[in-house]
Chains A and B, each alone.
Chain A
Amino acid sequence: MNLNDQKKDDFAKQFSVGLVLFVILLMVGVFLLQYAPMIAFFWLSGLGFGYVLQRSRFCFVAAFRDPVLTGSTAVTRGVLVALALTTIGFTAVKYICQSTGQIIPGHGYIVAIGMNTVVGGIIFGIGMVIAGGCASGMLMRIGEGFEMHLITLIGFFLGTILGNNHLQWWNNHWMWIKEGVFLPDLFGWAGALIIQLLVIALLYGLAVKWEAKQEV
């Protein structure tokens, strides 16, 4: 059997296993649906996120690391597009909820800003580059067969235990804006949306220029 045949054989094998897995995953979804639709939704949306992340090689580490390390901003621009589209979608949902007198969803994600945000972000940034995978990338790569990222997951869990026990301290020191800032509260809905999209567009322009500069 030559190399080409072997490749075809491997393709057929993996594809068949994939089809069987697909059926099993859907059956689990139907099983979960019997408990509650919400449970099935978490399951199916997780599968969707995992599928899209893997198929589009969407890597947040590369988005932050590559501009400096290799000069490529392709993933960075992809992340910026995602930020812009998600901003528009989320803002539409939130605005509609507010106008119709419903509770604005997702306000739990407007979190406090303090030294914890800065230090946490820097530590997380160093960690994701060293591990070669962020939170979503780590889960995705476990699915792709990387043993290494199982160890990252264990480390992640241990780090969480440590961080949780220091949380109180961080909340009591250098906490700048405890209640967080929801930008529409500052600039109005339209103002905040325009400002944020302009900032994203500006970053996109910088990313295009940065990459062009590297190629010269």
Chain B
Amino acid sequence: MDSEGQKNFRKWFKPSWSYVTGAVLLSILQVITLIVTQEPLGITSAFSYWAVRLQGVLGFGTPEQLGMITQLMGARETLWFEENLVTLRNLGIILGAFLSALLASQFRLKKIKSGQQALMALLGGLLMGYGSSIASGCNIGAFFSGIGSMSLSGWVFGLSLFIGAFIGGKLLIRFLI
């Protein structure tokens, strides 16, 4: 590719979009998703699905959970990507972001810097996993899609997220910076 052509391509893929552009496109994707799949965007149900599956393999959990697993195991003629379409979509989100980063030449392999960073990543993930599974959703399913669906739960969850982020920010300042 000659440098003139490169420049033209760069114009298309290099600059970031504004947050408002992002908001408009995300909303359009949300509405299409609601129409086609009959459900808004959600992410964490995929984690729940595999968590229950893992429990089935290891054989622990409440009777209801194990009953659900037996049911799932009974219907095992399907291929992995058919079993939980949300998992497939999550994989799509990772690869879509990968594609976007590559086209803008923003992809960088960022190694874990320290044990402390790894611990924070693990702890943060644990808290998010626990929080989303008891509140039936994350920042997407319970907050974004919840409020978009005009569910009061979305607002209650959003306010709680704000309080949590405030506490988290204070913790960060106190223990790290």
Interface set of A (CB-CB < 8 Å, partner B): 8, 10-15, 17-19, 21-22, 25, 32, 35-36, 38-39, 41-58, 60-61, 64-65, 68-69, 74-75, 77-79, 81-83, 85-87, 89-94, 103, 105-113, 116-136, 138-149, 151-168, 170, 177, 180-184, 192-193, 196, 199
B11–chain A nearest beta-carbon distance, Å = 12
Contact for B110 among A25, A55, A147, CB less than 8 A: A147
Contact for B94 among A15, A36, A89, A143, CB less than 8 A: A143
Instruction: Enumerate chain A residues within 8 angstroms of B47, measured Cβ to Cβ.
Output: 156-157, 160
Residue of B nearest to A20 (CB): B102
Using C-beta atoms within 8 Å of the partner chain, give the interface range for chain B: 35 or more
Interface membership of B70, Cβ < 8 A: no
Contact for B120 among A11, A39, A65, A131, CB less than 8 A: A131
Contact (Cβ within 8 A) A39 B82:
yes
Contact for A54 among B19, B100, B168, CB less than 8 A: B100
Interface string of B127-171 (1 = CB under 8 A from A): 111111111111111111111111111011111111111111101
Instruction: Enumerate chain A residues within 8 angstroms of B148, measured Cβ to Cβ.
Output: 83, 86-87, 89-90
- Identify which of residues 4-18 in chain B touch chain A, using a CB-to-CB cut-off of 8 Å: 6, 9-10, 13, 16-18
Instruction: Enumerate chain B residues within 8 angstroms of A155, measured Cβ to Cβ.
Output: 121-129
Report the separation of the CA atoms of residues A170 and B130 in the bound assembly, to the nearest whole angstrom: 12
Contact (Cβ within 8 A) A105 B38:
yes
Interface string of B70-108 (1 = CB under 8 A from A): 000000000101100110111111111111111111111
Report the separation of the CA atoms of residues A41 and B29 in the bound assembly, to the nearest whole angstrom: 11
Contact (Cβ within 8 A) B86 A55:
no
Contact (Cβ within 8 A) B121 A148:
yes
Report the separation of the CA atoms of residues A27 and B164 in the bound assembly, to the nearest whole angstrom: 42
20 intermolecular pairs with C-beta atoms under 8 Å apart: A14-B102, A38-B85, A39-B88, A43-B88, A46-B91, A49-B92, A53-B22, A89-B34, A113-B153, A116-B135, A121-B142, A122-B161, A125-B163, A128-B164, A130-B127, A135-B140, A143-B94, A146-B110, A164-B48, A181-B152
Contact (Cβ within 8 A) A159 B98:
no
Contact for B124 among A47, A105, A120, A128, CB less than 8 A: A128
Contact (Cβ within 8 A) B161 A124:
yes
Interface set of B (CB-CB < 8 Å, partner A): 1, 3, 6, 9-10, 13, 16-44, 47-48, 50-52, 54-55, 61-62, 64-65, 79, 81-82, 85-86, 88-112, 117-118, 120-153, 155-169, 171-173
**In the complex where A53-B26, A58-B19, A139-B97 touch, is A38 in contact with B156 (Cβ < 8 A)?**
no
Contact (Cβ within 8 A) B153 A181:
yes
Contact (Cβ within 8 A) A50 B164:
no
A82–chain B nearest beta-carbon distance, Å = 4
Report the separation of the CA atoms of residues A192 and B148 in the bound assembly, to the nearest whole angstrom: 12
Report the separation of the CA atoms of residues A116 and B150 in the bound assembly, to the nearest whole angstrom: 19
Contact (Cβ within 8 A) A143 B96:
yes
Contact (Cβ within 8 A) A162 B130:
yes
**In the complex where A18-B102, A54-B100, A126-B168 touch, is A38 in contact with B95 (Cβ < 8 A)?**
no
A19–chain B nearest beta-carbon distance, Å = 8
